[in-house]
């Protein structure tokens, strides 16, 4: 098996300013588990599906849906990405 047999030909990337909500939408829509974080064409980090899950609120949260949405729309990849 070759790398080209399992690789994604069109890599989906995000920027450090991408919100958690947008990153979750991208991973679900595209069926991917990792998002490279690029700034000015340079790799500055990576975000995994585990990072996204960890950043989301616990099901036991006392926040209301609108409060949770407000927070998720403000949390960015710069705050949760793993840096090289």
**Residues 11-54: pLDDT tens digits?**
999 999 999 999 999 999 999 999 999 999 999 999 999 999 88
Whole-prediction pTM: 0.83
pLDDT of residue 51: 95
Alpha helices for the chain (secondary structure H)? 3-6, 20-30, 49-55, 65-72, 77-80
Domain count, the chain: 1
Other C-beta atoms within 10 Å of 45: how many? 19
Residues belonging to the chain: 84
Q: Quick one: pLDDT at residue 18? A: 98
- Mean pLDDT, all residues of the chain: 90
Any domain includes 52: yes
**Is 67 inside a domain boundary?**
yes
Whether 15 is in a domain gets the answer yes
Residue 1 lies in a domain: no
Q: 58 vs 49, which has greater pLDDT?
A: 49
**53, two tokens:** 């899950």
CA distance 51 to 34: 9
On whether residue 30 sits in a domain, the answer given is yes
Q: What is the mean pLDDT of residues 1-20?
A: 91
Give the residue numbers spanning the domain of 13: 8-80
The two structure tokens encoding residue 73: 């729309």
Q: 51 lies in a domain?
A: yes
CATH number for position 39:
3.10.580.10
């Amino acid at each position: 098996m070759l790398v080209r047999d399992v690789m994604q030909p069109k890599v989906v990337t995000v920027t450090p300013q991408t919100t958690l909500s947008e990153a979750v939408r991208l991973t679900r829509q595209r069926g991917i588990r990792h998002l490279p974080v690029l700034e000015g064409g340079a790799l500055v980090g990576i975000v995994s599906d585990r990072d996204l899950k960890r950043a989301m609120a616990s099901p036991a949260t006392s926040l209301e849906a609108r409060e949770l949405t407000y927070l998720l729309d403000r949390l960015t990849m710069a705050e949760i990405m793993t840096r090289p």
